[in-house]
Structure formats: structure tokens, C-alpha cells
Amino acid sequence: MKFPNLETLIPAVVTPMTPEFEVDEAAARRYLTWVKAQGIRAVAVNADTGEGPSLSRDERRRLLEISADIFSGEVVAGLYASTTREAIALAEDARRAGVAALLMFPLPVFRERAGSERVIYEYHRAVAEAVELPMVLFHLQPALGGAEYSPDLLARLIELPNACALKEATFDVRSFTETVALLGQLPKKITLLTGNDNFIMQSFLLGAVGALLGFGTLVVREQLEMIRAVGKRDYERAWKLHGIVQPLADAIFASPVREYRARAKEALRLMGVLENAVVRPPLLPLEESERQRVREALERAGALASVASRRGE
């Protein structure tokens, strides 16, 4: 099994919707083409940022096909299901669409701490045995609908033959550094991706080699340059870019953090990338005060100024 090269910035992209809450395929194609033009070579589709859990099987499959076409198969497919059987069916859809890997979302049952580790392991094992696709494991904070795994469980999951990477998204520096230390001790080496939108640059200083971020679809060029600067040990340049990137990320992921999906769409609308910021109910559009805060954060980051300059305003 060929593992993809994930040592880059992988945006978890949004899903453009019509005013009637339907997936807008034409808008999705335009948006994904824009993302690629920012210098991105791989994306995550049907993840939480893209409202993956609220999409039908057909909608998810179609979005994967469109994305795989634009990104030449360099797509990580968000896998979220209610049962193992459904997960295997969705994983097979992803394989047929030509994606590079699966992003293994924690299921709600995983948050039942007592006695749930066997459930978690057997779920991953069943998907790995049924569908020959690399898997990105997902260590996700409960506030974002996830579950944090014990070191012993992480070590067992990493030993699965399909496991190629780990997205660490606890949003906690101490937990992240403990995971870095654990990965360094294991015989099998996998790619560590940060999912910590609250300390992006610091993740790379601490050991991440790639990023899979919901925030990855905004100020994309600045994020890419910041990551490259860390790699070159040009810390002065990295910190300067951090001063642009992180305050905007903090605004998008402000409390309540689950509103970040609507905030990301509103930011893309204000930037002229999307025609609207429609989210599918039960998600709700932002209130005016929230929209204003997103606008102000974009202005401070210079994102709206760059849009105006491209338009000749």
C-alpha cells in the first residue's frame, strides 16, 4: 500500500451550499480551484469543516469525485459514520473516487470512556481490513465532537498496516508534546499532522511535519510561507507571519468553537471566494455582531485589503 506524502498544509475545505441548503457543485468546483491556486496540493473533504456529518452518502461521494479531479487524487476523505458497516461502505466510496487516504473521525460512542477502547480499536481494524486505503488517525478534543485516546490505544492503532498519519487536535500544548514523545518511542514511524488551529506555528516547532486544519482555507499563502520559514529555521520570518495568521485563527475558533464552520464560510464570503455563507441546519448563520467580528479580524490580517487590491479598488 502506497502512503501519500502529507508533509504539507492540508486545508479541511468548506462545502458551498445554495440558499436552499443544497450542495452547490459548481460553487464547490470554483472554490476548490481557488484553494489549489493558493499553492495547495492536497485537501481534506467531507471533514467537520465541510459539514461532512450532515451530508448524504451521494453528496459526500460527489464532492470526493470533484475534489479528486481537481487535486489529482491528493484528497483525504473525512470518514464519519454511525456504524462500522456504514463506515466501510463510505470508505469504499472514497476508494472508488480515487482519494489518497481516509481521515478517521472519532464516533460519538468513542467518548464513553469506560471500556470503550476495544470498541475504538475494533472499529479501526474493521475498516482497515475491509478497504485498502491509508488511514489518518484522529486524536480530537471532545469540545469538537472528538475523543482523546490513551497512549496504549494510540500505539495499537498506529501498528495497523493502513495507519499512515496522526492528526493531533487536542488544542492542548501539553497533550501535543506528550504525543510527539510517544511517536518518537514507537518502532513504526508515521506522519504527525497538527490539527491545532490555536497554535499552528508552535506545532511545527514542537514536532509536527504537516497540518490538516479547518483554518487552512484562510490566509493560505501566509500559512504555507510560515511553515516553510520554520523548516528553514528562519524564525524571525516565521514569527512575523504568525502575527498575521494566529490572531485570525483565534477569531475563527473563538468560543463557542463549534461556530467556526459558519465563521470560515463568512470569511470566505467577505473575501469574495464564496457567494454566500450558507450552512446546513441545524447549523445557523452568524448573527450580525459575529459577522462584524469576522470582518474586523480579516481586516487586521490584511485579508480584505489584498482582495480589494486584486479587484483594483
| Nearest CA-CA partner of 182 in 216, 215, 148 | 148
Q: How would residue 146 be classed by pLDDT, with cut points 50, 70 and 90?
A: confident
pLDDT over 80 (residue 113)? no
Residue 46 — left, alpha, or beta (φ > 0 → left; ψ -120 to 50 → alpha)? left
Are 52 and 46 in contact by the 8 Å Cβ rule? The answer is yes
The per-residue pLDDT for 313 is 45
Residue 108 is predicted with a pLDDT of 86
Strand-pair partners of 137: 166
Q: pTM for this structure?
A: 0.95
Residue 84 pairs in a beta bridge with none
Residue 77 DSSP label:
E
Max Cα distance, the chain (Å): 60
Q: How big is the chain, counted in residues?
A: 313
65: its cell numbers: 469525485
- Segment 13-32 mean pLDDT: 98
Q: Mean per-residue pLDDT for 277-299?
A: 97
Q: In whole numbers, what is the pLDDT of the chain averaged over residues?
A: 95
Cβ atoms 11, 216 nearer than 8 A: yes
C-alpha–C-alpha distance, residues 120 and 202, integer Å: 29
Residues 274-293, mean pLDDT to the nearest whole number: 97
- Which residue ranges make up each domain of the chain? 9-233
User: Could you tell me the pLDDT band of residue 306, with boundaries at 50, 70 and 90?
Assistant: low
pLDDT digits over 28-67, tens only? 999 999 999 999 999 999 999 999 999 999 999 999 999 9
For the domain made up of 9-233, give the CATH fold.
TIM Barrel (3.20.20)
CB atoms within 10 A of CB 183: 19
Minimum mean pLDDT range among 115-124, 175-184, 219-228, 288-297: 115-124
Integer Cα distance of 244 and 205 in angstroms = 17
Helix (H) or strand (E) holding 289: helix 288-301
Contacts of 154 (CB under 8 A, 6+ apart): 137, 139, 166, 179, 182
- Classify burial at 13, counting beta carbons within 10 Å of its beta carbon; exposed 0-12, middle 13-18, buried 19 or more: buried
Per-residue cell: 168:
493531533
Output the pLDDT for position 310.
Answer: 52
